[in-house]
Structure formats: C-alpha cells, structure tokens
Amino acid sequence: MAVELTADQIRHVLQGISVPPQPQIMVDLQMEQVMPIPDLRSIARLISHDPGLSGSLLKIVNSKYFGLANRIASIQQAVNLLGCDSVINLINAQSIKGEMSDETIVTLNRFWDTAQDVAMTCLTLAKRIGYQAPDEAYTLGLFHDCGIPLMLKRFPNYMAVLEEAYASGGAEQRIVDVENRVLSTNHAVVGYFTAKSWNLPLHLCDAIANHHNAYSLFTDDSGRDAQLKTLLAILKMAEHICACHRVLGAQAEDHEWAGIEQLVLEYVGLSDYDFQNLRDSIRELGVG
C-alpha cells in the first residue's frame, strides 16, 4: 500500500539535503524565454559562452536520436532550427549534471551514464509515438532521478536502500514506499523540489514527483492528466529499455515494469510486438 509523507516529514528531511542553486545559465535563458519575443541571437550567445554546454547541445542535436537530415555546425543554427523552448529544455537538462556531480562519489558515474541513456531513449520514444515536445521528454529523462545524488550525499547507505526498493517494487508496493519507510523521504520528492526550485515547467515537476506512481495513474480511467500519463509512459518504457532495474537497483528482473507494462503499452497504443521491435531498434543505437 502507498505510504504518503506528511508536509512536516518532507520539510524536516529536506532541511538536511542541500539543493544546489539554479545554474546562472538557466536563469539567464529563462529570462529570455519569458520575453514577448525571445531573442534567438541572445540565446545562442548565452549558450556559446559555456563551451561544455555548447558541445553537449551540438552532440545531442546531431545524434542519431534526433534524426536531423543535415548536420548542425553552430549553436545559432541549432537555436534557429529548434526554437527557443526546445533548446532551453535541452540546456536545462544538461545543466543538472554540472551542478550535481561529485567526483568523490564513484557511484554517480553509473548514475549519470544511465541518466543520459534514459534521456536519449525518451527523446527517441517521444518522436516515435508522436509526442509534440520530444525535448521535454529528454529533459524528464535526465532530470527524473536528480534526487538520487542528493539522497546519496545525505544518506551514506542510500544505494542499499534503493536496491531493496527495486527488489520489492511492483504494483502493490512502489519503489518510493521503501525509501519513505526507511528514510522518511524519497528521491522523487527531493527531485520534485529541486526541479521546482530551478523553475522547470510545472508539468515536468509533476512528472518527476510521480514517476514511481505509474500504476495508480494508469489505472485511473477518469481521462485526467493526459500529458502527465504520456510523459510517464515514455519515461517508464525508457527506464525498462535502459535496464535501470539492473544499473540502479541491482535486480535481474524489472518488477516495476512487470506491474505496469500492459497498462503503459495500451495507453500509447503499442502491442507487445511493436514494443519489442522498438526496444531492439533503440538498443541498436547503442543504448541498453
């Protein structure tokens, strides 16, 4: 049974977790984004000032996952082609790694590798099923587990708790229920507050908060939260394809996916056969 945290419990535990400040590049880009007519040249110039982010953006845009016909050679080209919102989503997603990396924590190496794989897979899946904002799916893929590095810094035994959570997760018990019981908070809650403090779009914050609530959401036939369900369907397919249950949870079987597979596939209109083909084609791109 789901165990929800009270506001007081969340507030108490978050006092011991240091959420990094929003990167300045995100602040500057979001200021441009809210202008009546965003200046694409200013956006390109801001991104170009950071060689690391510039290189990451061009690498993503020119990857097989994005599927553009012609190679993009400059940040200005990328901004002009993709538009303000898409480029800013991609940059926001990349910014998190720089702010949350801790070279003293070796465990995070596998975490970030997996997060990048999930993000690229989300991008591909979003395009394949016709989601109108694949860059949002990419951002969710990279951000959704951003609470894990912060939990690891706060709780030295966190990875052991996470492994226990993945071992017992499924339709009857959520992965975050184990975290709530042992630590009185969970990585989805911490990730939600981080994303919210960094001014990510609220629907992405909600997806981060609910990314282990898929079973209850997909068994709700009220028709509400269509955008949330679509984003979570993309994310849960991507997590399964990238074997997060093995990399993060040290489990041979994906118990969470087993409980929601048919619900998710039915929601996005994919048969088992379609999904297997899609999974195999994505893995051929180097993921999984």
Question: pLDDT tens digits, residue range 243-273?
Answer: 999 988 999 999 999 999 999 999 999 999 9
Q: What angle do CA 42, 77, 140 make, to 5 degrees?
A: 80
Question: 2 and 174 in contact (C-beta within 8 Å)?
Answer: yes
Q: How far apart are CA 182 and CA 155, in angstroms?
A: 11
Q: How far apart are CA 264 and CA 213, in angstroms?
A: 12
Sign of the Cα torsion 262, 265, 271, 274 reads negative
pLDDT per residue rounded down to tens, the chain (288 residues): 444 556 665 666 566 676 777 788 888 888 888 888 889 999 999 999 888 888 888 888 888 777 777 888 889 988 988 888 888 888 877 777 766 666 545 566 677 778 888 988 999 999 999 998 888 998 899 889 989 988 888 888 899 999 999 998 877 789 999 999 999 889 999 999 888 888 888 999 999 999 999 999 999 877 678 999 999 999 999 999 999 999 889 999 999 999 999 999 999 999 999 999 999 988 887 664
Phi, psi of 199, rounded to the nearest 5 degrees: 60, 35
Sign of the Cα torsion 151, 152, 156, 158 reads positive
Q: How far apart are CA 253 and CA 18, in angstroms?
A: 33
What pLDDT score was predicted for residue 104? 47
Q: Which of 219, 20, 237, 261 is nearest to 137 (CA)?
A: 237
Residue identified by tokens 């492994």 is 163
The 10s digit of each residue's pLDDT in 189-215 is: 999 988 888 888 899 999 999 999 999
Locate 15 and state its tokens.
């006092």
